[in-house]
A = this chain, B = another copy of it.
Amino acid sequence: MKTIASISIIGSGNVAQHLGKALVGHVKVLSVYSPNFDHCQSLAEDLFAFPAERLEDLLPADLILVCISDDHIASVIEQLSEHPCVAYTSGAIEMDSIPRSKGLGVLYPLQSFNKDRTIELEQVPFFIEADNEVFAQALYDLTKTLSNKVVYANSEDRKHLHLAAVMVNNFNNHLVYLAQEFLKDKKMEWEYLLPLIQETTAKLQNKNPFDAQTGPARRGDQQTIAAHLAMLDGPTKEIYQLLSQNILKTYQNDD
């Protein structure tokens, strides 16, 4: 196979929906399978595809694209030995951990997909890996129809990217949650923070985070840090302390 002209999709979650809808028009989406048949039917309808009631009913295609949660990837792919080419979309799962001897690949979009949110896929970096060069090239070409940033990366690199993604996405979201809880406790609306939150990340589009750093810990302002710690308790205090200490340390020899 040099060009992927048809696919079948396993999964009906956010990744399956976003990638499926973007791929329609570039390839023929033949069928969709999902353990939840209602979701399967709904997505299949959106993609003008056949809704498979069982995994065995999935229509053969140039590529089976597996868009499901990490813990089911290995067991589902094990059941796809009839299909010559299979790729999954996870950052954390190494190809070596999948029980399949050939025709295995990865197409990992480094983005968080959510219902009711439009993602400009052209800007999303996709990381490609496959167990042979022809398949890797075919996956690359397919993904190039979706995004301007398609890169080959092995399982190790992908794991590193996934870890970094957890830090900037999951942890940053949790810090906003902790700030929200703190303000709620003081009877204030967390939404006041939204323009600042937006600017914090918008700034990074043309400034690296080392130079973009501001705030009491960046200035070595121990008095404000102490005043803030006195207003906090529990894990939020611990998190404030650890992060402030680390910012202080990062810049201690800088000025």
Residues of B within 8 A of A196 (CB): 110-112, 165, 168-169
Kindly list chain B residues whose C-beta atoms are within 8 Å of the C-beta of A249. 235
- CB-CB contacts of A149-180 with B at 8 A, as 1s and 0s? 10100000101110111111111111111111
With A110-B195, A111-B195, A199-B112 given, is the CB distance from A171 to B243 under 8 Å? yes
Known: A231-B159, A246-B235. A170 touches B215 (CB 8 A): yes
Interface membership of A70, Cβ < 8 A = yes
Confirm or deny: A101 has a beta carbon within 8 angstroms of a beta carbon on chain B: no
Instruction: Please tell me the size bucket of the interface on A.
Output: 35 or more
Given A213-B173, A224-B70, A231-B163, A125 and B179 contact (CB-CB distance below 8 Å): no
A178 contacts which chain B residues (CB < 8 A)? 167, 246
A214–B169 CA distance with the chains assembled, in angstroms: 8
